[in-house]
Amino acid sequence: MAARRTRPSRTTKRVARARAAPKRRAAASAKSRARATSSTKPRGRAPDRAPDAIGFISQHMDYTSHDIEAVKRFYTRLLGFSDFQYLPANQYLAVRTGPTSSIGFMPPMPGPPEDWRPPREPTLYLFVADVDRACRELESRGVVIDRPPADMPWGHRVAQLRDPEGRSVTLAQNRRRR
């Protein structure tokens, strides 16, 4: 006589489903995450954040200044960076230049003056939407453009000017190579 198969009871089925539920949820969650990741990151495009090994959040550069008031006027009024903070007690000016970047200016630290004078400081390279328009606007405000807008072989259109203390400020616009 053939062995008779018994059906599992409803209770047994419930217990088995309850035990398997966490595994099913984990698998479904993993599939959902994989789908979300693949659909939100188009292929062939750079990631939204630059990869780094240090947990990079933002960039801030400090410069020395012998005339904070002139520098403040140049960056806030003439260049139009309206998000800034000036701390008179420390004579420190912080100017937000983008969502994750800023520059600061402070009096020179003690030491030989040649250690703190521009042009030993780097060029500020500010990306703008339209270099030609930016230059016209700045010239109307009295800013002298040292080098008018020109296309560079690396794909930028750039113009160069100087802040009141002689720092080189480059305005750059990304352009597609032709």
Whether 86 is covered by a domain: the verdict is yes
pLDDT by position in tens, the chain (length 178): 555 555 555 555 555 565 655 555 555 544 544 444 443 333 444 456 556 665 666 788 888 888 999 999 999 999 999 999 998 988 889 999 999 899 999 887 666 555 555 545 677 888 888 999 999 999 999 999 999 999 988 888 999 999 998 888 888 898 864 4
Whether 161 is covered by a domain: the verdict is yes
Domain that holds residue 84: 59-174
- Could you check whether the bond before residue 107 is cis, i.e. omega within 30 degrees of 0? no
Percent helix, strand and coil across the chain, each to the nearest 5: 30, 25, 40
Whether 5 is covered by a domain: the verdict is no
pLDDT the model gives residue 125: 83
Whether 158 is covered by a domain: the verdict is yes
Please name the residues in contact with 44: beta carbons below 8 A apart, sequence gap of 6 or more.
none
Q: Looking at the 3D structure of the chain, how many domains does it have?
A: 1
Residue 112 sits in a domain of what CATH number? 3.10.180.10
Whether 26 is covered by a domain: the verdict is no
What's the pTM value of the predicted model, to 2 decimals?
A: 0.56
pLDDT the model gives residue 20: 59
Whether 88 is covered by a domain: the verdict is yes
Whether 34 is covered by a domain: the verdict is no
Whether 103 is covered by a domain: the verdict is yes
Are 174 and 147 contacting, i.e. CB atoms less than 8 angstroms apart? no
Cα 131 to Cα 99: distance, rounded to the nearest angstrom: 20
Pick from 127, 131, 136, 121: which is nearest to 166 by CA? 121
